[in-house]
Structure 1
């Protein structure tokens, strides 16, 4: 085996050279994404304990703050953007929630287990799991995707979901909900995001299969497939500059979405409003019609 491929023998791949700016700081993004909940809370998650991975910024921040407004205490996992995470904690606490922050790479199974253990040590229970953390790397040619990048993208986007869900499963009781973040690229494809869109296909299959596995035990599993949403992911290296300049213009609505236009889909699937739904995917994508 060549030197280049030896990385595949490892159980965990560290950040690659392509990632010095990723996933990016929302504090440095202009214009700032809209994360604010748009309506008063109604207690739909009162007393619940929720995990939100990738909860420091973007969609994750909007979900965490909305869940806090709806009465949940929130555990936020993030990679290393401490300024964003601190801000999100302050926003959730302003809504009356208790917050646990955990920095590190959930693609490492030991860290994923330690994070869930910390949640249980803090609150003694877990009711909602939001698997949202992800990364992407644009490449025009499949030959440009290195073994390290390929494994890293799968490690962050889908392996981490397995690791966190495996750690969480013993603590999820009847009535619990899992919501996974997939993408419109799973349905439409993306010529410049071959590895990323492949992971999103895996996430959709994981969501449907996990639903079949758990639905008989009263645990619902669903997913959300956002379209182009204005978050740090694309401007900080997840898309070429020329694409960022016209980000979201190709949607029927002609604009990118905002995180607070996606978060309510996660809330719906996390609470009892969706009690007769499992194995399903919601599509906040600006009007693109896809086979869901």
Structure 2
């Protein structure tokens, strides 16, 4: 129960890494807002959480590229649970693996809106609540950005996705420096490619040959699983990590060594 009494907003929480992060937070005692554009899957995850430790969860529709939606998900947390302590910027988007000069402009815009501008919207939405936080604890609030090993060790065919995740890492470190005096922590996880709905896009196609070729680049020999990311996500937002800020943790089986 490391997150007992905390309220977390998790974006992209209807599937993949986000859904497992939300479930793990509930198991650790947190109230959770499931923010996603997929209403059917999001409500299903919220219902699952209601059965975890008598957990409390609510689904909130949110397109994280829209300011009003991001503000709405934070407002939903405060209205339902009275506060917001944790924001997980997990929602992500990518183009199909392809040469840089073939990526359509609308795809470029969507990638940066979902992967980067959403962090801007999210910070602006939670900061007033964090700064007014009266709840006891070592930190006033924590933001966790799900970046990627693509921002550390880029792969061909994913130039603009790589660049967006480099921006997320840079934002994490910059925010940590600026907000440290407010006792607000900002951290990130850099997952290696995993078993999520985006996997086929990363590889260009999902075939046994493509999977084998990618796994060969990971010293521990497999893709990441949602539980790998969720386990790190619990620790980084917990009071056990109260002296960690600006950390961008590779959860990658050694891929970035």
TM-score by structure 2 length?
A: 0.91
The 1:196–1:272 alpha-carbon spacing in structure 2 relative to 1, beyond 3 Å, is: same
Alpha-carbon distance between aligned partners in 2 of 1:127 and 1:181, rounded to the nearest angstrom: 17
Contact 1:234 1:244 (C-alpha < 8 Å) held by counterparts: no
Determine if the alignment matches structure 1 residue 233 to structure 2 residue 202: no
| Superposed displacement of residue 190, structure 1 | 1.6
For each residue in 1:145-164, what CA deviation from the matched residue of structure 2 results, as whole angstroms up to 9, or x when unmatched? 22211111000111011112
1:163-242 map, 5 Å:
163-172=121-130, 173=133, 174-235=139-200, 237-242=201-206
Secondary structure at 1:63 match in 2: helix
Q: Which residue of 1 aligns with 2:245?
A: 278
Alpha-carbon distance between aligned partners in 2 of 1:116 and 1:61, rounded to the nearest angstrom: 18
Contact 1:137 1:239 (C-alpha < 8 Å) held by counterparts: no
Q: Which residue of 1 aligns with 2:221?
A: 254
For each residue in 1:60-97, what CA deviation from the matched residue of structure 2 results, as whole angstroms up to 9, or x when unmatched? 011000000000000011112x3321221122111121
Q: Which residue of 2 aligns with 1:127?
A: 85
The 1:245–1:55 alpha-carbon spacing in structure 2 relative to 1, beyond 3 Å, is: farther
1:50-65 map, 5 Å:
50-65=8-23
Determine if the alignment matches structure 1 residue 118 to structure 2 residue 89: no
The 1:120–1:186 alpha-carbon spacing in structure 2 relative to 1, beyond 3 Å, is: same
Q: Which residue of 2 aligns with 1:35?
A: none
Alpha-carbon distance between aligned partners in 1 of 2:27 and 2:210, rounded to the nearest angstrom: 33
Alpha-carbon distance between aligned partners in 2 of 1:105 and 1:44, rounded to the nearest angstrom: 29
Secondary structure at 1:253 match in 2: coil
Alpha-carbon distance between aligned partners in 1 of 2:158 and 2:187, rounded to the nearest angstrom: 24
- In structure 1, runs of 5+ residues without a counterpart are 1-42
For each residue in 1:84-116, what CA deviation from the matched residue of structure 2 results, as whole angstroms up to 9, or x when unmatched? 212211221111211111123110111111221
| Superposed displacement of residue 245, structure 1 | 5.1
| Superposed displacement of residue 242, structure 1 | 4.8
Alpha-carbon distance between aligned partners in 2 of 1:226 and 1:90, rounded to the nearest angstrom: 27
Q: Which residue of 1 aligns with 2:136?
A: none
Secondary structure at 2:228 match in 1: helix
Q: How many residues align?
A: 246
Alpha-carbon distance between aligned partners in 1 of 2:242 and 2:207, rounded to the nearest angstrom: 39
Alignment counterpart, residue 56 of structure 2, candidates 78, 87, 98: 98
Secondary structure at 2:77 match in 1: helix
| Superposed displacement of residue 196, structure 1 | 0.7
For each residue in 1:156-208, what CA deviation from the matched residue of structure 2 results, as whole angstroms up to 9, or x when unmatched? 11101111221111111343111101100111112111111100000000000
Runs of 4+ with >2 A deviation: 242-248
- In structure 2, runs of 5+ residues without a counterpart are 134-138
| Superposed displacement of residue 218, structure 1 | 0.8
Alpha-carbon distance between aligned partners in 2 of 1:155 and 1:244, rounded to the nearest angstrom: 32
Contact 1:135 1:238 (C-alpha < 8 Å) held by counterparts: no
Determine if the alignment matches structure 1 residue 83 to structure 2 residue 40: yes
For each residue in 1:251-280, what CA deviation from the matched residue of structure 2 results, as whole angstroms up to 9, or x when unmatched? 112211210011111111100111111101
